[in-house]
Chains A and B, each alone.
Chain A
Amino acid sequence: MRIAGIETEYGIADPNNPQANPILMSSRLVEACRTWAGENTARWDYGGEDPLQDQRGHRRERAQAHPSMLTDEAEFDENVGAVSLRKRRGSWEDPAHLNAVLPNGSRFYVDHAHPEYSGPEVRAARDAVVWDTAGDAIALAALAQYRETEGLDLALYKNNVDGKGASYGTHENFLVRRDLDFDQLGRWLTPHLVTRQVLVGAGRVGLGQRGEGAGFQISQRADYMEAEVGLETTLRRPIINTRDEPHAERSRWRRLHVIIGDANCFEMATFLKIGTTALVLSAIEAEDERLDSLVLADAVPAVQTVSHDITLRAAIPLESGEQATALEVQRALLAICRDYAEDAADHTLLAHWERILDALSIDPFSAARDVEWVAKLALLGRLRERNATRHDDGSTELLEWSDARLAALDVQWSRLGDGWAAKLTAAGQVSRLTDDMEVAEAMKRAPRDTRAALRGRLIAARPDLVDAAGWSSVVIDRDTDHGNLEVIHLDDPHASTHPLIDALATQTL
């Protein structure tokens, strides 16, 4: 599979103090993560970030950018006009931008007012699941350390909404060829991003950005998608995000940054989210003209149409003048993607994709082990039934969708460690693709077949030499350099060996 990676911003709250400052809590949590990791962490190298470069070829002026977009700001030097990244170790680190680069190749850090885990680069959808699940386990390990160090309680939520208007993201990244026309890519990928919700939505109680309408919908993120294409990620959120930071050789690669997806507590959802999207991208790279027949007439309202329709029967208008349901679009994409399977892992993905589409078509509730929104809806349904009002005339009224118990179940579903999704999984009611041993290993070790192996290996073996690390760089500080820092550029995300890093990692202290 093409290179991919997942970033998760967790919801964060002190159960005993709802007013507690989320930036401070996130910062202390990252500090706790560093403590948990012992010596084996590194600072972040901001050298590779360029949040204002647009995939469509132009740059946004700094002065016109929303402050939340300036993710490189921590080390941006106004006078130099470029990113300055050669601060020495021991220099001051902004607590609001605290980072821990870990031996498994991931980055655990403060992003805005949330802790975020950015998983290492992977080359298989199943690996994306393994290292995503490992990220949850790392967050829980940091949480345990936080409780011990701070003497305070803390809860983390793997969701995307607070029901009051705020949304925070779970982003997927895919490496795609630079020579592909970006407008064409967006046009052909959008039908998949809009309709895959039925497979990978996490489910949400409440309709509208503030949950102003009562009811249930398929996706957490759908109501926050307000544009087809754009550079923003924190406002006017687009289905196709154009941020152009390839973290790889710019002349050859793009990094497609997908921001429409939900945070998933179900492994099968994460597996399908990454695997299906990677295959659709292969069809797009091959310029498969069959994709043209699936282009939507008006994508933004279609996101909400699909998300709000738990019957899965709503028709979406296509550009061709025809219309199709989300399941029909998914069936068509599955048929196209069969031609782009490259290995056994792709065929496994296709088999799950087909099996789950079949289940959703026949009886959505038969997919409850695999499809997160269905499992959540089933649990909510049982709770509504248990708490139904029974009238004297024998009629019953299910618990209203506006009842706080249902909204509470929805939020608590995603709580790391002891949330309802975790308990449902522990009760054997949820399909798993990983096992606990493998996840424990992935907390400490990077994937072997991407450059994450280099980053992870050096931080595991010689953290004393690492001044900072980023996606495409490792900054080395050696006594023999007489005060200079060496920046090792890792522009090929596929390369898992490097002469200098391999040599340094095997040197004994």
Chain B
Amino acid sequence: MPQTHASGQPYEDDAPEPAAAPAKAENTDALDSLLDEIDDSLQVNAEQFVRSFVQKGGQ
């Protein structure tokens, strides 16, 4: 199964495409601004975040 897929949704995001993106055309759907946000957020602290997310067992 392919791990990526263009959303079947109509194009709703009128934010401009990132200028330097070498990505394919299908990357310009409504998810793009969310992915930008995720990318920015995770570049900084992903490893530390994952390491410190420790829970006690529950039911």
Contacts and interface: CB of A to CB of B under 8 A. Distances in A.
A508 B56 CA distance: 45
A429 B3 contact: no
Contact of A18 (B2, B27, B41, B52): B52
| Interface of chain A: mostly helix, strand, loop or mixed | mixed
Nearest to A168: B58
Contacts of B57: 112, 165-168, 234
A465 B5 CA distance: 57
B11 interface: no
22 contacts: A11-B53, A12-B55, A13-B52, A18-B53, A22-B56, A113-B56, A113-B58, A114-B56, A161-B55, A162-B53, A163-B50, A166-B54, A169-B58, A365-B2, A378-B4, A383-B35, A398-B3, A404-B47, A405-B43, A428-B9, A428-B12, A429-B7
Which 9 pairs from chain A and chain B are nearest by CB? A168-B58, A113-B56, A365-B5, A18-B52, A381-B3, A162-B55, A381-B4, A408-B46, A169-B59
B19 interface: no
B16 interface: no
Interface stretch (A27-35, A266-274, A384-392): A384-392
A259 B31 CA distance: 33
Interface in A368-393: 368, 377-387, 390
B1 interface: yes
Question: Most B CB atoms within 10 A — which of A113, A167, A408, A424?
Answer: A408
- The B interface is mostly helix, strand or loop, or mixed, namely loop
A379 B31 contact: yes
Contact of B59 (A9, A12, A384, A405): A9
A119 interface: no
Contact of A411 (B8, B38, B53): B53
Contact of A383 (B33, B38, B54): B38
A304 interface: no
Contact of B31 (A167, A384, A408, A429): A429
A407 interface: yes
Interface in A79-129: 111-114
Interface of B: 1-5, 7-9, 12, 22-23, 27, 30-31, 33-35, 37-39, 41-43, 45-47, 49-50, 52-59
A377 B58 contact: no
B50 A407 contact: yes
A385 B5 CA distance: 11
Interface string A294-312: 0000000000000000111
A371 to B, nearest CB: 13
Interface of A: 9, 11-13, 18, 22, 68, 111-114, 161-169, 171, 233-234, 259, 310-312, 363-366, 368, 377-387, 390, 398, 403-405, 407-409, 411-412, 420, 423-424, 427-429
Contacts of A377: 3
A423 B37 contact: yes
A366 B8 contact: yes
A381 B57 CA distance: 29
A408 B55 contact: no
A423 B58 CA distance: 27
Contacts of A161: 55
Given A365-B2, A368-B7, A378-B5, A168 B59 contact: yes
Contacts of A166: 54-58
Contacts of A411: 49-50, 53
A11 B22 CA distance: 38
A163 B41 CA distance: 20
Contacts of B2: 365, 381
A403 B2 CA distance: 19
Contacts of A111: 58-59
A427 B58 contact: no
B55 A429 contact: no
A28 B47 CA distance: 29
A311 B1 contact: yes
A390 B23 CA distance: 11
Contacts of B7: 368, 378, 429
Q: Which of A11, A312, A365, A382 has the most CB of B within 10 A?
A: A382
Contacts of A259: 59
Given A409-B38, A411-B53, A420-B38, A382 B31 contact: yes
A411 B42 CA distance: 12
A390 B22 CA distance: 11
Given A379-B34, A407-B50, 16 more contacts: A9-B58, A9-B59, A13-B55, A111-B58, A161-B55, A169-B58, A233-B59, A234-B57, A368-B5, A368-B7, A377-B3, A378-B5, A381-B2, A405-B42, A427-B31, A429-B31
A50 B45 CA distance: 45
Q: Which of B7, B8, B49, B59 has the most CB of A within 10 A?
A: B59
Contacts of B53: 11, 13, 18, 162-163, 411
Given A385-B4, A407-B50, A408-B42, A420 B34 contact: yes
